[in-house]
Amino acid sequence: MTAARQTAVTAMKNELLRRMRGELEIEISGELPQRLLNLAQRQGLIFRDIRFVSSERLRARIALADVYRLRPLMRPCRCRLRICRRIGLPFTLAFLRRRPLLPLGALLAIGLLVFVNSLIFEIEVGGPYPLSEQRVAQILQLAEQQGLKSGACVWRLDLQQIERQIADNAAQISFAEIYRCGNNVYIEVVERDGLSADEQPLPAGDIVAACDGLIIDVLVRQGTAAVQSGDAVTAGQVLIYGYQGQRRLAASGIVNAEVYGRGYGECALSGTAERYTGRSCKNLAVRVNDGALLLIAGADPAPYQLYDTERRSRRLSLGRNKPLSVEFVVSKICEKEQYTLRRSADEAAAIAAEAATAAARAALPEQANLSDTQLTEILLEDDLRRMQAVLTATAEIGVFRAAE
């Protein structure tokens, strides 16, 4: 604590003590008020907020208990004392003792205000989607059965319990919330028909494993955990039961597990591939009313045995809003040839490893985070290089499955 803050705290404590013990604001008038101050200081009396009104009159504050010690010093100094203001708890208590009905009336008024504030004057039903009059009447009837009605005392009601009763007893209500605003109570409800497909509440069901894995941790939001950290699970095994005691519900939670993906890839040391020779030709055709292409100029059919075709088209238009049904198509025919591709052992192994890794990654969940990759070469006496990949990752494997 800094010195300035400690000084402020000490000043507040001293002020509170002075208020509790009582304090007087006095006016001293006479020929020698300065002498009176000196004599009082020698006697151990403490004055605060000393202000000289004139040369023969001053004002100051003094503790209530010190006034009686100050009076014997007034006569030798030929001074007079007048009390200007009484401050503190003793004077407040004395005031209340002379008027005993005043605190009683204040307490009764406060109690009456608290009681009136606890009453319910009006109940309104609404929600993010429009509600029919029949639905509003049904909600009000269910609330009244639980004691929520005009004139009821809110202290005697369990609003959360009433919310659950409305949601459980009204088949078309998926969510209900009750809150107060002054003496009015608002019931916000959401109907199942007003929800989109993604917002529809889930039916009763369990959380099951989407794939095999080793459980890392289980976070249960709703339901009962069926597994714990360190358990090995298989695809389809129940992870969180959709039960809360004897009540059947939609299980909810997060289950993180260590999962494994396995993949196989191979690549030959020699094979056949295609490449462009650099020779090409073009032709021009026209299409009318989206019909067949009519050749205008160029080679048709293609003069090459193996080729690729690139086409570009353009439709004629008389204006922005008057397109014609005539389309010109320019085709570029590029010749290709086959050749024998030979790879080194390392190149074939790298291609096989890439294929195996891709296959193993496809076997993992989409949101899995890779933590380890192991590649193993399968050696056989032929011209193929074979690789097996095992990927280790962490993923959330829990998926919802509705109860049958």
Query: What is the pLDDT tens value at each position of the chain, 404 positions in all?
Result: 577 788 887 878 878 888 888 888 888 888 778 888 888 888 888 888 888 888 788 888 888 888 888 888 888 888 888 888 888 888 888 888 888 888 788 888 898 888 888 888 888 888 887 888 888 888 888 888 888 888 888 888 888 888 888 877 776 777 788 888 888 888 888 876 655 555 556 778 899 999 899 999 999 988 899 999 999 999 999 999 988 877 788 888 999 999 999 999 998 888 788 888 888 888 888 887 777 878 888 777 788 888 888 888 887 766 666 666 788 888 888 999 888 888 888 888 888 899 999 999 988 888 889 889 899 888 887 788 899 999 999 999 999 998 87
With a threshold of 0.95, does the pTM exceed it? no
List the alpha helices (DSSP H) in 146-287: 159-169
Residues 6+ positions from 26 with CB-CB distance below 8 Å: 59, 60, 61, 62, 67, 81, 82, 83, 84
Closest to 136 measured CA to CA, from 147, 128, 127: 127
Nearest to 64 by CA among 29, 97, 18: 18
d(CA 255, CA 311): 52
DSSP character for 162?
Answer: H
Identify the helix (H) or strand (E) that includes residue 392. Answer: strand 384-396
CA–CA gap between residue 329 and residue 292 (Å, rounded): 11
Nearest-CA neighbor of 231 among 245, 242, 217, 243?
217
Under 8 Å between Cβ of 25 and 48: no
**Cβ distance 32 to 78 under 8 Å?**
yes
Cis upstream peptide for 203 (omega within 30°): no
Q: Which of 355, 385, 361 is nearest to 373 (CA)?
A: 361
Please tell me the distance from the alpha carbon of residue 88 to that of residue 67, in angstroms, as a whole number: 15
Q: Determine the 3-state secondary structure of 302 from DSSP.
A: coil
